[in-house]
Amino acid sequence: MKAPHAHTNRLASESSPYLLQHAHNPVDWFPWGEEALQKALSEDKPILVSIGYSACHWCHVMEHECFEQQDVADVMNTSFINIKIDREERPDIDQIYMDATTAMGLRGGWPLNVFLTPDAKPFYGGTYFPKEHWLNLLEQVSNAYINHREDLVKSAEGFTEALNQSDVNKFGLVDESESFRHEDLDHAYDRLSKQFDLNMGGMDKAPKFPMSSIYLWLLRDYATTGRQGALEQVIRTLDKMAMGGIYDTVGGGFARYSVDGEWFAPHFEKMLYDNGQLLSLYSEAYTITKKPLYKEIILETYSWLKREMISPEGGFYSALDADSEGIEGKFYCWQYDELKDIIGEDITLFAAYYSITQTGNWEHGMNILYRKFADAEFAAMHNLSEDSLGNYTQQWKNRLFAARDPREHPGLDDKILASWNGIMLKGLCDAYRILGDERILNTALLNAEFILTKLYDGKTLYHSYKNKKASIQGFLEDYTFVIEGYLALYEVSLDEQWLRHSIKFVNQVIDQFYDETEGLFFYTSSDSEKLIARKKEIFDNVIPASNSSLARNLYHLGKLLVNDDWIEYGKKTASRFKKAFLADPSYLSNWGCLMTSMVSPTAEIVISGKDSIQVRKEIDRIYHPNKIICGSVEASTLPLLVDRKPVPDKTLIYLCFDKTCQLPTSSVSELLDQLKHLN
């Protein structure tokens, strides 16, 4: 624990855990806002914008090496106006200056440190700097600003102009044919498969990130084409991740990424957005494979969420730090003698199972729990039944959890973000869809209510919630991921209030975020703070792009509501990204999910009658991702239900596609036979 500091800067009045971590630095930090920007103009000083987040290991390192040091602070305070930003609170600002840094030909990442002119235009940037390099850079930038101002201003104008270039022109997003064919999927798969790691799963590079949307697309490719290679790569990836050090086998939940190519040594921070997407991914994969390992991962991750990540009000916190007691991974790693004391006479079997050694399999004599063999293979190697091995591993986990829990836990970033809560809400709905565990549904309902009552005031969806206060006007990602979460909740609960809220948010997005000129959506609303650029998010990364997610939502809602305009928007926008997707699917995989839903007809499944909920559960036991579900126990005014009023003591299922309907049936197996003929 840090000793108390006499110095306090302006960040002490902020709510962001990341900003509060810097509140006692000797650097005269400002939060982003008018006070800092006006001071830069009035004093004619360059601005340093330093961006990070609370779970970022190298952000902590740079703080300790540079920002906590008085000699460094003296230089920064004399020559610059210094602004600290939590990228998770202000992704709009982060996006602008990250794009500027990459436009400079520099490597992006966090901590991100960018130098601006007094009118907030960027002229130089970088990521982590050790102390001596940082001091040298500060001196060079200060001298350049004093002696070569004209060149810096010209450079800044050029980068700002580049930031405001048309995305449509920059990436050649021209209108193409709206048709999507199986051959397109073949081509995209061939391109992506060249990047597969056929040994460890994932992509063939290090570090390894989960990138869930890639594998969700591969599952849809498999569902559409029957391509075994797509399914095999998903299974290989999910198996190796579950067995790797990236997964917390003791407490549940995944770390953000592994630094190596084997899912072995993670950067130990756990992010809400990763775990929400991975709940969806493992749930979909379980529907196909019924692998007990995937069910175990889902339930353990859910237990971790309930234990460590949910507020009393029902909102999910953002992240757990990589560090505890100032050491990365200390909470999660073990010395051999410590494990020997905990496990006792089973230590030899335990060591073989988790690949630990007496000298440690990681740094400083520490062990990361890591499995090289699947349970069936390991049990056979050691003359055990799988049930017997399962008994061993459960006992080991219980003992390890009891021994680990008293340790100092990693720091918690307890701000609650609308976008990440929407992602987790979708993950919970998908988990409930395949497990039918009512506890999971109840958690999803609690979270949905939290978003509605704490992050929405009836007019504006807010981005962040902390200390019982919502703040920062919502971004496109907030609206689209909440819409997606509410859509998923409607389809598992058939409670129309969640569908109505989705519709309301979509209309708001169209009014406030749509760019008529380019036919895409801005990241910020029309009445948000005006920055030096108004950006659009179009490429999928560790989180899918807000534009691809919104296009999928509009297509899905269009089918549910028989809204041809929204359906056509989804089709037309997908067609504009088709060429880019076929060239490199890895950063357009969520667009790929949308395109794949157009290769074969989207099934519109309507359930009407007293057993609608039970019928929905039976339908969801079979993997058919290209579908919408609409249903009601009672009469409904929804377009797909209005002429299908419930029949007493009977539940009927209607299957339609492209405005053509099959004869209604009361048999789920008959419905499934009908679905088989759609691809």
- What is the per-residue pLDDT for 216? 98
Q: Is the pLDDT of residue 6 over 80?
A: no
* DSSP code for 541: S
123, 155 Cβ separation under 8 angstroms: yes
Name the DSSP class of 513.
Answer: H
pLDDT of residue 300 exceeding 70, the answer is: yes
Residue 79 lies in a domain: yes
Name residue 575's amino acid.
S
- Choose the final residue of a domain: 350, 384, 404: 404
pLDDT at 679 over 70: no
Q: Are 320 and 346 members of one domain?
A: no
Omega within 30 of 0 (cis) for the link into 410: no
Q: Which is nearest to 186 in space by CA: 227, 244, 237? A: 227
pLDDT by residue (tens digit) across 491-520?
999 999 999 999 999 999 999 999 999 999
> What's the pLDDT score for residue 646?
84
> Do both 283 and 299 map to the same domain?
yes
Rg (CA), the chain: 26
- Mark whether 592 and 607 lie in a shared domain: no
- For residue 230 the two structure tokens come to 């797509």
CB atoms within 10 A of CB 23: 17
DSSP lists the bridge partners of residue 470 as 465
> In the β-sheet with 462-466, what is the strand arrangement from edge to edge?
416-417, 462-466, 469-473
Domain shared by 447 and 592, yes or no: yes
Determine, yes or no, domain membership for 175. no
Q: How far is CA 141 from the centre of its chain?
A: 35
- C-alpha to C-alpha distance for 304 and 248, rounded to whole angstroms: 10
514: which strand partners?
521
As a whole number of angstroms, the distance between CA 667 and CA 669 comes to 5
State how far the Cα of 184 lies from the Cα of 225, in Å rounded to an integer. 11
pLDDT per residue as tens digits for the range 555-572: 999 999 999 999 999 999
On whether the CB atoms of residues 447 and 421 are closer than 8 A, the answer is yes
Domain with 45, as residue range(s), is 10-164
Does residue 308 sit in the same domain as residue 272? yes
Q: Copy the structure tokens of residue 170.
A: 């920059």
Q: What are all long-range contacts of 440-447, with beta carbons under 8 Å and residues at least 24 apart?
A: 440/302, 441/492, 441/493, 443/302, 443/305, 443/306, 443/310, 443/314, 444/489, 444/492, 445/489, 445/493, 446/314, 447/310, 447/314, 447/315, 447/316, 447/421
Residue 522: which pLDDT band, with cuts at 50, 70 and 90?
A: very high
pLDDT exceeds cutoff 60 at 2: no
Answer whether residue 174 is part of any domain.
Answer: no
Dihedral of alpha carbons 47, 49, 50, 54, sign: positive
Q: How many domains does the chain have?
A: 4
CA torsion, points 198, 199, 202, 204, in degrees to nearest 10? -80
Q: Taking 70 as the threshold, does the pLDDT of residue 635 lie above it?
A: yes
Out of 6-20, 372-386, 463-477, least confident range: 6-20
% of the chain at pLDDT higher than 70: 98
Provide the pLDDT confidence category of residue 106 given band limits of 50, 70 and 90. Answer: confident
Residue 171 inside a domain? The answer is: no
Q: Are residues 464 and 569 in the same domain?
A: yes
* AA letter at 665: T
Residue 131 sits in the same domain as residue 66: yes
8-31 mean pLDDT: 95
CATH number for the domain that contains residue 309: 1.50.10.10
Q: Is the pLDDT of residue 105 over 70?
A: yes
Please state the φ and ψ torsions of residue 178, each to the nearest 5 degrees: -85, 0
Report the predicted TM-score, pTM, of the whole model to 2 decimal places: 0.95
On the question of pLDDT at 613 being above 50, the answer is yes
CA–CA–CA angle 455, 458, 461 (5° rounding): 35
User: What confidence category does residue 5 fall into, taking pLDDT thresholds of 50, 70 and 90?
Assistant: low
127 found inside a domain: yes
What CATH number does residue 74 fall under? 3.40.30.10
Do 461 and 482 lie in one domain? The reply is yes
Question: Domain for residue 494, yes or no?
Answer: yes
Query: Are 436 and 617 within 8 A, CB to CB?
Result: yes
294 in the same domain as 212? yes
- 252/242 Cα distance (integer angstroms): 10
Residues 542 and 476 in one domain: yes
pLDDT digits 0-9 by tens, 456-489:
999 999 999 999 999 999 999 999 999 999 999 9
Q: Lowest-pLDDT range, 103-107, 238-242, 342-346, 598-602?
A: 103-107
Beta bridge partners of 469: 466
Residue of 28, 33, 48, 66 lying closest to 115 (CA atoms): 48
Q: Is the per-residue pLDDT at 326 higher than 90?
A: no
| Residue 440 burial (CB count, 10 A) | 25
Residue 1: which pLDDT band, with cuts at 50, 70 and 90?
very low
The DSSP bridge pattern shows strands 257-258 and 122-126 to be unpaired
Structure tokens at 259: 């630094």
| pLDDT at residue 4, as a whole number | 47
pLDDT digit string, tens, across residues 403-421: 999 999 999 999 999 999 9
Residue 445 lies in a domain: yes
For residue 236, pLDDT beyond 60: yes
- Inside any domain, residue 97: yes
Whether the Cβ atoms of residue 419 and residue 462 lie closer than 8 Å to each other: no
Q: How far is CA 601 from CA 450, 597, 657, in A?
A: 36, 7, 6
Out of 546, 572, 596, a domain closes at: 596
> CA-to-CA distance for 279 and 289, rounded, in angstroms?
15
For 272, counting Cβ atoms within 10 Å of its Cβ (0-12 exposed, 13-18 middle, 19+ buried), the class is: buried
pLDDT tens across 569-598, in order? 999 999 999 999 999 999 999 999 999 999
CA 538/CA 546 separation, integer angstroms: 7
CB 118 within 8 A of CB 42: no
Distance (Å) of CA 645 to CA 613, 630, 664: 16, 13, 13
**In contact, 357 and 253? CB cutoff 8 Å:** no
Helices (H), 344-415: 347-354, 375-381, 386-404
Residue 3 pLDDT > 60, yes or no?
no
Which two structure tokens, joined as six digits, stand for 24? Answer: 């006692």
Average pLDDT, the chain: 95
**pLDDT at residue 84 is higher than 90:** yes
Cβ atoms 477, 419 nearer than 8 A: yes
Q: How far apart are CA 217 and CA 251, in angstroms?
A: 29
Of the listed ranges 19-28, 213-222, 535-544, 655-664, the least confidently predicted one is 655-664
By the 10 Å C-beta count (0-12 exposed, 13-18 middle, 19+ buried), 638 is classed as middle
Q: Are residues 586 and 628 in the same domain?
A: no
Note whether 374 and 239 are within 8 A (CB). Answer: yes
Same domain membership, residue 250 and residue 223: yes
What pLDDT shows up at residue 647? Answer: 83
| β 29-31/81-86 pair status | parallel
- Domain limit, last residue, from 551, 569, 596: 596
Dihedral of the alpha carbons of 143, 86, 540, 525, in degrees to the nearest 10: -100
539 C-beta neighbours (distance < 10 Å), count: 19
